[in-house]
Amino acid sequence: MKNLTRIALTLAFMTGFVWAETITVYKSPTCGCCSEWVKIMEAAGHEVHIKHPVSLQRTKDKLGVPNQLGSCHTSVINDYVFEGHIPEQDVMAFLANPPEGARGLAVPGMPANSPGMAAEGVEYSGFNVIGFDDQNKLFLYKKY
Amino acid sequence: MKGLLVLLAVLLMTGAQAEETALEAGQRLYFESGGYGCAVCHGLGAEGGGQAGGYIRGASLVRLNESLAENDPMKPLATVLSETDRQMLIDYLTDLAAIPLVQLTFENGQWSGLSEPLKVNQTAEIVLYNATFEEQAIDLSALGLGQITLQPLARDRRQWKAQSEQFTLPGVALGEIKTVLPGATANTTP
């Protein structure tokens, strides 16, 4: 299934189609910047389902988010995990071509100039998108 | 027998409640408010941690209420923080402001950071950040904290009793900062 998705996504990229994903976002009801990130994903055409778990930390642990990469919200797309304020284009690039063994991406904490945190029109800067794999090994995916 | 069990349960419950001091409640709120806590935006030690929220050690209740009313990421928290909660948070931050802070980051092959002036025989606090993708260790024996190992991109926070106003650590470039005023940023992390 993952392979099929990958092929479809690659095709979508090559042909310039906008590929829409179904995203489950785990967040707290009181998280404003999480909702801002969700709006960005929805504006890009993705379908977002929001869940408010009793314990966000327990959800992150269950989904296998490495402790040091924690942010406010956690998203799941096609069994991959996306933690925090990751730019939409990086999520899509990752899904189209996941590095071997990778389980997901994260932008730890709440960087000021990240999607959902930055004021509209402000260029994303001053944070790293971190990849993590099934051995909990971390790697730099993209620098802003 | 049943009555005894009920009594025991009541005793245990009241005991558990009495265990948490107001200051501990403030700390719990700092790490848990809204499900993610203040720490995600303001750092483990309210020192900023390179995040959007910045340094808030010693912040005032007026400032907190302003932020809860006007600052977009904080506005939703206004609905879950009671007046008592806010006061407990401020008491915790006031308590932290009295503790001199040392911030150390490992990047570009070495540990470096800043230290507020320490007070002899008083508690001081150190916040550590490993900004690299390799595990890093730091020798804090000079502070009585032994050797601490940090996983890639991990942060840690420890307290110790200062024996002198200044200290040196092997292989650490340490500058001194004046105590930072509430609201100012004192981020050393990139």
Residues B130 and B157 in one domain: yes
Range in A75-79, B96-100, B156-160, B177-181 the model is least confident about: B177-181
Give the model confidence (pLDDT) of A92-122 as tens digits: 999 999 999 999 999 999 999 999 999 888 9
Banded pLDDT at B184 (limits 50, 70, 90): very low
CA distance A142 to A114: 13
Strand pairing class (B155-161; B110-115): unpaired
Instruction: Identify the DSSP state of B46.
Output: S
Q: Do A28 and B36 touch (CB under 8 A)?
A: yes
Q: Say yes or no: B113 and B93 in one domain.
A: no
Strands A22-26 and A74-77, how do they pair? Answer: antiparallel
pLDDT tens-digit readout, A1-59 = 556 666 655 555 555 455 778 999 999 988 889 999 999 999 999 999 999 999 999 99
**Would you say residue B182 lies in a domain?**
no
Interface membership of A71 toward B (CB under 8 Å): yes
Does residue B36 sit in the same domain as residue B56?
yes
Tokens of B130: 């490993």
- B5 is a domain residue: no
B172 and B106 within one domain: yes
Q: Give residue-wise pLDDT tens across range B133-158.
A: 999 999 999 999 999 999 999 999 99
Q: From A65, A59, A75, A72, select the one nearest A23 (Cα to Cα).
A: A75
Task: Kindly determine whether residue B75 and residue A32, on different chains, have CB atoms separated by under 8 Å.
Answer: yes
What pLDDT does A60 receive? 95
Q: Do B36 and A111 touch (CB under 8 A)?
A: no
In a domain, B7, yes or no: no
Helix (H) or strand (E) holding A11: helix A2-15
Among B136, B133, B134, B130, CA closest to B155 = B130
**Which of B31, B40, B130 to mutate to probe the A interface, most A CBs <10 Å?**
B40
Beta carbons of A138 and B77 less than 8 Å apart: no
Cross-strand pairs, B139: B147
Tokens for A22? 């179904």
Chain A interface includes B50 (CB < 8 A): yes
A32 touches chain B (CB under 8 A): yes
Percent of chain B, pLDDT > 70?
83
Best probe of the B interface among A68, A69, A122, A130, by most B CBs < 10 A, is A68
Average pLDDT, chain B: 85
Check residue B50 and give its pLDDT: 86
CATH number of residue B42's parent domain: 1.10.760.10
| Alpha helix segments (H runs only) across B20-132 | 22-32, 39-42, 61-70, 83-97
Residue A25 bridge partners (DSSP): A50, A75
Q: Is residue B168 part of a domain?
A: yes
The runs of H, that is alpha helices, within B79-159 are 83-97
Q: Where are the beta strands (DSSP E) in B78-145?
A: 101-107, 110-115, 123-130, 136-139
Q: Across the strands, what pairs with B105?
A: B112, B129
Question: Stretch B64-86: mean pLDDT, rounded?
Answer: 93
Do B37 and B80 lie in one domain? The reply is yes
Task: Report the pLDDT value the prediction gives residue B182, as an integer from 0 to 100.
Answer: 45
What range defines the domain where residue B124 resides? 101-176
Q: What is the pLDDT of residue B66?
A: 96
d(C-alpha A13, C-alpha A47), whole Å: 18
What band does B176 get if pLDDT is binned at 50, 70 and 90? confident
CATH of the domain at B127: 2.60.40.420
Asked whether residue B27 is domain-assigned, the answer is: yes
Nearest to B50 by CA among A86, A73, A110: A110
The predicted pLDDT at position B185 comes to 46
Question: In terms of domains, do B31 and B74 share one?
Answer: yes
Which residue, B75, B97, B119, sits at the end of a domain?
B97
Please report the pLDDT score of residue B188 as a whole number: 39
**A138 and B49 in contact by Cβ < 8 A?**
no
B72 interfacial to chain A (CB closer than 8 Å): yes
- Is the pLDDT assigned to residue B5 strictly greater than 60? no
pLDDT band at B186 (very low <50, low <70, confident <90, very high): very low
Q: How many angstroms away from the CA of B77 is the closest CA of chain A?
A: 6
Considering its fold, how many domains does chain B have in total? 2
* Residue ending a domain, choose from B97, B128, B146: B97
Specify if B75 maps to a domain: yes
Contact between B61 and B90 under an 8 Å Cβ cutoff? The reply is: yes
Q: Say yes or no for a CB contact (<8 Å) between A110 and B154.
A: no
Segment among A4-13, A77-86, B80-89, B165-174 with least mean pLDDT: A4-13
Q: How far apart are CA B136 and CA B134, in angstroms?
A: 6
Contact A30 B72 (CB under 8 A): no
Q: Which amino acid is at B167?
A: F
Structure confidence at residue B173 (pLDDT): 87
Q: Are residues B108 and B167 in the same domain?
A: yes
Instruction: Tell whether B142 and B157 lie within a shared domain.
Output: yes
Whether B42 contacts B54, CB under 8 Å = yes
Does some domain include residue B121? yes
B40 with A31: Cβ contact below 8 A: no
Half-sphere exposure of B153 (CA within 13 A, CB side): 22
Mean pLDDT of B96-112: 94
Length of chain B: 190
Q: Which residue of A has its CA nearest to B33?
A: A30
Out of B69, B97, B125, pick the residue that ends a domain.
Answer: B97
Chain A contact for B17 (CB, 8 A cutoff): no
Alpha-carbon distance A16 to nearest alpha carbon in chain B (angstroms): 34
Query: Would you kindly state where each structural domain of chain A is located, as residue ranges?
Result: 2-143
Is A117 within 8 Å of B52 when comparing Cβ atoms? yes
Rounded to 10 degrees, the C-alpha dihedral B82/B83/B87/B88 comes to -30
